[in-house]
Amino acid sequence: MVSSISHLSCSKCEKTFSHEKAINLCQCGGPLLVRYDLEKAKQVFTKELLNQKSTHSWNMWRYKALLPVIKEDNIVSLGEGCTPLIKTDNLSRKLSIDLFIKDEGLNPTGTFKARGASAGVSKAKELGIRTIAMPTAGNAGGAWSAYGRKAGIELIVAMPKDATELAKKECFITGASTFLIKGLLSDAGNIIAKGTKKYNWFEVATLKEPYRIEGKKTMGFEIAEQFNWEMPDVIIYPTGGGVGIIGIWKAVKELEALGLLTGKRPRLVSVQAEGCRPIVDAFEQGKNHAEFYENAKTVIGGLRAPKVLGDALVLEAIRESGGTALAISDEEILLGMKELARTEGMFICPEGAAAITATYKLLDSGYIKPKETVCILNTGSGLKYAELVDLELPTLEKDGEINI
């Protein structure tokens, strides 16, 4: 296999580490980032080679030169990636912009979490790790449990008791040791951290290992390729743990270094729930780090992350790109789900719907200009959140008539 991986580096103090050893954070507490020999990558990561369908699997591993796994046999794939970029014809006309949705709901396990799980589990397999532990809001647990099972790696999962029923069942059906926590994602994280010290598990909480980002950054590669190597003006991303927005910005920089992007960089927009907005508050206050968000409350599980380990990296990506951050109420988010379903026929997840509502607000504020190209990340299928849809349907007697 041709991977141009070189080493790991700390995002805070820039200390370097070998990618051949299992490691979580730097001694300074900073998240680690994967670095590549980009001169080597230039020989194999080209538009021409990517267009040769016969030489690539049609999943995210077609970008293997800029992914962290050395040996082909260690790749654990369920067909993740290569998700569609869908033009919203009706909304685009209504809003006078070119609005596209990158639909991650078509990934295995129904969300973008499959990308991070594939990369993280594959590297764990290559490093000989046998037991992985993680806190999760729900979807990541389901994804890592599925990929871990395929790889023969044991998964220990802790999630809030009020996580979606489907997320709990995904972990159960794949055989992960699953524990429900009376509390928030941060509370689940504390319990996993204690268990890791006691049982020597390898913890893969968000940004506590370097490889989840690498899977998520392939969204950025695909967006670039699908837009013919010229990024959209704005990318709107629903932000919980923030790995996706960090990964997309990493992809932009790597593609620039390879000379593959034309035009200007995209402006990255981080969208959070009004009841849990640590990144938004830090951005608005001009801070480089986000404070723990006390009494976080939102029905949108993927946006209920009161503390973000990669907060500095998220804020850096927003500011470097000329982006912004805003918060949306739960009520507006749920209306956004209905809006897209009834205009475009797409049943998206509430996190993605937050980005839909954010688009309206950014147009009203003048941040998005008419005729600009906007790409929204829908991070999962609405089918995973069916319980959030309230039905108000008429009931007929068996011999009744339908009157419209």
Residue 164 has a pLDDT of 85
Residue 2 has a pLDDT of 76
H/E stretch holding 93 reads helix 89-95
Regions of the chain where pLDDT drops below 70: 1, 53-56, 400
Structural domains of the chain ordered from first start: 85-111+212-385 (3.40.50.1100)
Q: Are 238 and 355 in contact (CB under 8 A)?
A: yes
Residue 158 has a pLDDT of 94
H/E stretch holding 312 reads helix 311-320
What whole-number distance in Å separates Cα of residue 384 and Cα of residue 268? 26
Residue 184 has a pLDDT of 86
For 64, other C-beta atoms within 10 Å of its C-beta total: 20
Residue 54 has a pLDDT of 52
- Residue-wise pLDDT tens digits, 192-226: 999 999 999 999 999 999 999 999 999 999 999 99
Residue 401 has a pLDDT of 74
Predicted TM-score (pTM) of the model is 0.94
Phi and psi for 164 in degrees, rounded to 5?
-60, 145
Quote the DSSP letter at residue 107.
Answer: S
Residue 101 has a pLDDT of 98
Residue 1 has a pLDDT of 59
Which conformational region is residue 242 in: left (phi greater than 0), alpha (psi within -120 to 50 degrees), or beta?
left
In this structure, what token pair is assigned to residue 106? Answer: 């078509």
Residue 396 has a pLDDT of 76
